[in-house]
Amino acid sequence: MKTNGKWNKYLIAGLVMTIIAVGIALLGAFWTPYSTTAMSAAEKFCAPSLSHLFGTDNFGRDIFSRVMRGVGTTILISGLVVLISGIMGILIGALTGYFGGLLDEAVMRLTDAVNGFPSILLALVIISILGSGRQNVIISLGIVFVPSFIRIVRSEFIRLRDADYIARARMMGVGRGRILFVHILPNIFSTFWVSVMIGFNNAILAESGMSYLGIGVQPPDASLGNMLSDAQGYLALAPWYALAPGLTIVWIVLGFSLFSEGIRRLQG
């Protein structure tokens, strides 16, 4: 927790914020104060109170309960997106970085083509083909995020493939698979981990944006993005409706940003 003898404030603050967000997500998966889908015409647009900490929405649903469930949805989708794109990035980046040649050239040109489009725009194109829904959001964002992980892993494998300890491993007859995934891969995790944290933040913003546009998580399932979309028509009447999911997104992104910065500073 210390960097050069000083407390790593970024890491501590980010870790605390991240633990709170993940804790809310885990709790919301099993329990919420109220049903996230039950409607009540008599309780529409109730202001924040002890009964409803974040107030109620235009259907009389408890916003705090829906935020709890929405945090879990956002973190789950973002985690799966990073998991899929990270694994694909490691496999493809390791092969292209270590072997080079025509495979490397072809993959790099393909990643250049993908990176030539704004990531959200490309995700929208993919999801327009696949259709809206949670599963298709994961697939589309997973595809979009792969090139960034490929480039990071590839550059690290290029840097390490001619290192002395790798040359000695080759001379001893160590197989290529073992060199790739036992000798080189563990040594790139310090760099790769920070990229994963940044990718997670980008996935959160992308998922929230797509749900906001109505092509991500579909009602009545709770998502921070679709809650913001629903709230935009009631900003004057019920400002707490938009504030709750909006500030929650800021909290999650800021927490993971501080956590990743803390890790980077810890590594020196």
Residue type at 104? D
At residue 4, the pLDDT reads: 58
Q: Is the Cβ–Cβ distance between 152 and 192 less than 8 Å?
A: yes
**Six token digits for residue 70:** 């929405």
At residue 59, the pLDDT reads: 92
What lies within 8 Å, CB to CB, of 133 at 6+ separation is 217, 218
pTM over 0.85: yes
Side-chain-side CA neighbours of 222 within 13 Å: the count stands at 25
DSSP H helices, the chain, are: 9-30, 63-99, 101-115, 119-130, 134-160, 164-171, 176-178, 189-212, 224-231, 239-266
How many CB atoms lie under 10 A from the CB of residue 27? 14
Question: 3-class SS at 134?
Answer: helix
Residues lower than pLDDT 70 in the chain: 1-7, 268
How many CB atoms lie under 10 A from the CB of residue 145? 25
Q: What are 56's strand-pairing partners?
A: 62
Preceding amide of 219 cis, omega within 30: no
Helix (H) or strand (E) segment spanning residue 2? strand 2-3
What lies within 8 Å, CB to CB, of 96 at 6+ separation is 103, 104, 107, 108, 150, 154, 157
